[in-house]
Structure 1
Amino acid sequence: MLKTIKAKLIASFIALMVIVVGLAAYSVVNIEISAKGFKDYRSSARSSVIAGQVEAELLTLRMAVKDYMLDDSSQKNQAFEQAYQTLLSTVEQAKSIITDPEELKRVGGVVQDLTDYQATFTVVQADMQKRDDIVSGILDVNGPKIEHALTAMLNQAQQLSKTQLTYDAAQALRTLLLGRVYAMKFLNSNSDADMQRVLKEFTTLNTQLQLLTMQATDEALETLLVEAETSIGLYQKGIQEINQVIIERNQLVDEKLSRLGEKITQVTQGIRSQAKSKQDTIGPKVQALNETIIFVLIVVAILASLIALTIAILIPRMIANGLDAIQAVLSKISDTGDFSIRANVDKADEIGQMGRAVNHLLSEMQQAIKEANQVVGALANGRFDKRIQANLSGDLNILKQGVNQSAQSIEETMAALSKLLDAMSEGQFDVSVQANLEGGFKTMLQNACTTTQSLNQTIGGIVNAMQKMQQGEFSSRVNVEAKGELLKLKDGVNHSMNALDAAFKEIIAVVVAQSNGDLTQKIKNQYQGDLKTLTDSVSRTSEKLVEVVSKALTATSVVNSASDEVSRGALDLSQRVQEQAAALEETSATMDEMNSQVQSNTQNALQATHVAEEVQDKANTGAKVMMQTIDAMKAIQESSHKISDIVSLIDGIAFQTNLLALNAAVEAARAGDHGRGFAVVAGEVRSLAQKSADAAKDIKKLIDETVDRVNQGSSLATESGDMLTSINESIHSVTQMITHIAQASAEQAEGVHQVHNAISQIDQATQQNAALVEETSAAAESMSEQATLLNEDMAFFNTGTTLRTPTKKPQASAAPKGTTSAKVPALSAPKSAPKSASAQPKPMAKIAAKPAAAKASSDEWGEF
């Protein structure tokens, strides 16, 4: 199947191209899969980060709501609006970053929840405004009126010296003050117990007013009592409306704001959890895929290298060996003139076909020359019955027929002449000889018969001329004086000698030119008879040689075309390998940038850890100093202010614990998966803080209404110590969370570094493939140069036509950087001497030296 060189070249390079194209397709497909994995991994990481940001901004928003609940100032309202807009912007950013449809749907739900959250907060703001309006329009107006009326009543009772009325008025005033104090506490605490205490105090106040009404006998007192009762009724109605507004507001906060906040938090935590799960799945798959790509690239590259090396060694060697064998045979024949030498024809390829064609031509030429020499030798020896018996074809057959016909004519002529000469030897010149002759032989015989008398005078000159002709000298002529028919005979002999001389000169010129490689020389003059046959045979021989040389040149053109196709394929493959290398360089640059960002995050986390540790040390020192101050103040006032200190301590702990829980929740959201445990603990701490606050409120019922400044100072010092302790604990928690973040960043940096190394290995393998393609292109160029050199050697024979092989014209855009495309020179007669052997590839070194040998053997060609 693969017997010819063309088939072997096509099959070899198709196999090589299939391997390389398969490798390229495999690399492109799997690198695209790997790149998609990196893209999904990065998308998951960005989704996790943006979800953490949303959760942190949400906690900031909820803190702003709590701050507004404690202080409904415009500054707190602006803080809420700013936090809301920031959170909304972060959510919109998340919608542009997150690509998973399910997660996008959940993020869309978050946007709707935020809209509900803002609408609910607007209602809460309205309730807060309504509460403030009632406080400023009713409580702050009627409270002083009641106190003024009771104070005036107390003064009048004292003036009237009514002890019981004075006592009851003082008790009513005391009850009023207690009611207003608990009303203020209720506005701050929103506690149902404080509200019940307010209602109880005002119920007691109404009872006390009834006692005062029964004791009032003065019209002025009655007027004051009516005024007080009216104001008390308005005050009670106002405090009840405030209670209802606060209940509605707290329901909105608990049932809407808190639940919406927890719902959004669950969504962000779910997104982060799903992103982490994707990363845990994608990371190992991408790593395993990269390792597989590297292994396959190495194996296929080695296989392609072996195949290319085999093609580059075997095929040129096979072609060179075959051409060297044929060249050696032709050179040996040229040197020795021995046409019995034959080329090796065992191969079934184009070289073998060329060898068989050369052998067949040599066999026919050898047989024709051998038998022609035998016929000529027989004629020279006087044997005119010898003929060429070989079975020839084409021009050689024409030569055979011409020689045989010439021998036949000579035999008949010589027979007639012999008979005539026999008669002449006897002195009988009137003898008549009949023979089937034509042309000059017939004329010569007729003239001989009619001019026997003149032959005696001219026979000597004719014999002399014939002898010289037998010796190969065609310049001799018959110079004997003759008249009549003898003169014609003399002139006929001389004319024949002239024709033979001219014909053989042209034949010698053609044969000498062929020995010098010039196949364009032709016999220009026209001859008749056997000379025409002889000259035509020489011309046909030249044409046959032109045909043989042209076929050899065509074979070299085929080799040139094959090498051209190989070179173009190598250039195309080189371009694809360069595109693959460029894609790998872009991926490597992206991994470098990611690695730098992860390293920067790790360093920032470490620096934050050091700063937090320094802050914790300072907070510990401050806490120790404050504890010493508290111990000193407790030692001074332990006996008289124990209950107040305990209540203040519990209240401070509850408040600071609540703040700590909120801060821990914020930090837990920022810490991501590592902060989930802190979020749970923060919730429990908030619950405990709420219970502690409730307990503190119950204990405060037992505290006296007046607290001196020493007790206040002690309470403030205690609260400061607790705050420092809480801050210290918060800083410790933050330090631990930052440490965990730093560790996670370090692990992530290590993973990115490993991926970067894998891509670098793929890039190296791609560069090796590019080098292999350049080597293949160089091998094809070398093959083209060897074929060109063979063209130049075969161009020693000038056939009169110029056969050109296709010149390689690779596209400039397809040539890879650092690769030089080989140009195949046109096949024509050499314009200068052949190149030296040292400047040519080794397989063709022998061929380059043959033209000189051929030129040196031109004398042997002349003999032929």
Structure 2
Amino acid sequence: MFKNISIKMKLIASFSMVSIFVAFLSIYSVSGISESSDGFSNYRAMAKDSLLASGVQSNMLMLRMNVKDFLNTSSDVDIKEFNDYYKKTSELIKVALKEIENPKRAPLVKQIDENLIKYKEDFEKLIKLTRSQDKLVLSVLTSTGKKIEVLLNSIMVTADIDGKNEVAIETAFAIRAIISSRLSAMEYKNSKNSEDLKKANKDLDDLSEQLIEIRDIITNVSRKDKLLEAIKLVEEYKKGLKDLETIFLQRDKTIDKTTSLGENIAQMTEDIKVSIKEEQDSIGPRVAKLNSNLMKASLTVSIIIILCVIFFAIVIPVNIAKSIKRLNDGILNLLNSNDVRSRVEVLSKDELGEVSTNFNKYLQAIEDGLKQDSLVIDDVKRVVNEVKNGILSKKVELDTKNESLKELKNIFNQMLELLAKKISPDMNEIQLGLDKFQKLDFTYRLPKIGGETLNGLNSLSEIINEMLVENKSIGLTLQESADILLENVESLSNSTNEAAAS
């Protein structure tokens, strides 16, 4: 364990351990007390959160009551009260979003905020649908229906005056149909019963058929125009009744959605309050248990501090002393043996271990350098033997990290290269050429392998050959001249002898 720790850290650990553990104990004690204090603070904070949730819940109840009242009265007063309570609820939720940070309750608050916005949007939609419904009832069921009755009543009265009894009777039936349809429509408005709607539509269908029959039997232009206007208004009435049905369906869906949102918000608010209550109920026992654990932990940590101080006070100095002794023994062994192959034993990774490792690397580098130097020297011997045999083209190939030996190698190679350039890469070839020249064989040519001396001998042999050829030519010329002279002498001698004889 301690072999891989530096001496610096061992010393720091040994001298600082007591203060560190004492500080740890102090921090732990303060942390425990702080946690207990946080428990009470959390209790107070949760009480505040509970009040916020209660405020949201009570205001939400008032909002739901305003919606209910509006559905019954369609009063602007209910809308104003709704907006007032909505503003109060929104402000409470904004505070709750900032104050409630519990990961379980915070999402609920956010969801309440989102649902409250949707609740207001649905209420505004409900207001529009209610206003459209009231407008449609006023303009179609009341106004248009009344116009149809007035037109049909006018047709019936004038037809009766003119003695058109059939027209008057049929028109009376038509008036009864429109009255029945209007009554059913009003019943449907109040009860939302689909049977009332079916009856109203059936009465309208009967009315349309009756009006067509009346159109076929009516002859008076004025009454016919009124009848056509009534037929047109009946179609508008049918469309208005259908639109009213659509509005009622949308309004019912919106009411259901608003009711569901209100119930969800109320339930989520209640869930927040229940969650806070459960957490509040658990704080008291938890704080008491925390205080008990703090006392036990303080006693345990104190014992551990004493044991650790004793342990490190003994083990760390002993460990450091052993590391120093191993290093000292290894160095003394090296000094006594003078053998670079000896090594210091390394059993740790601390500073002394690093010193021992680096010292061993230094010895290994010396040993490797000596081996390399030995190989270079052997290579030099090889090249010297080649030189003894007349070969100057060889070089020392091996390299070494010894700068002095490396410089000597380079100088030696430069010398051989210079000799090979000035004389010849192969001295044996020059010796062979000189032997030939000693035997007066100047026709021999040394191979062109480089070297100024070798090239000079070849040039010298060329010059000697040229001189010999020239001397031979001169000798032949002299021989020829001598022969001619001899012939002239003999001829002169003969002439002289002949002259003397005569």
Relative to the length of structure 1, the TM-score reads 0.29
User: What is the TM-score normalised by the length of structure 2?
Assistant: 0.49
Rg larger in structure: 2
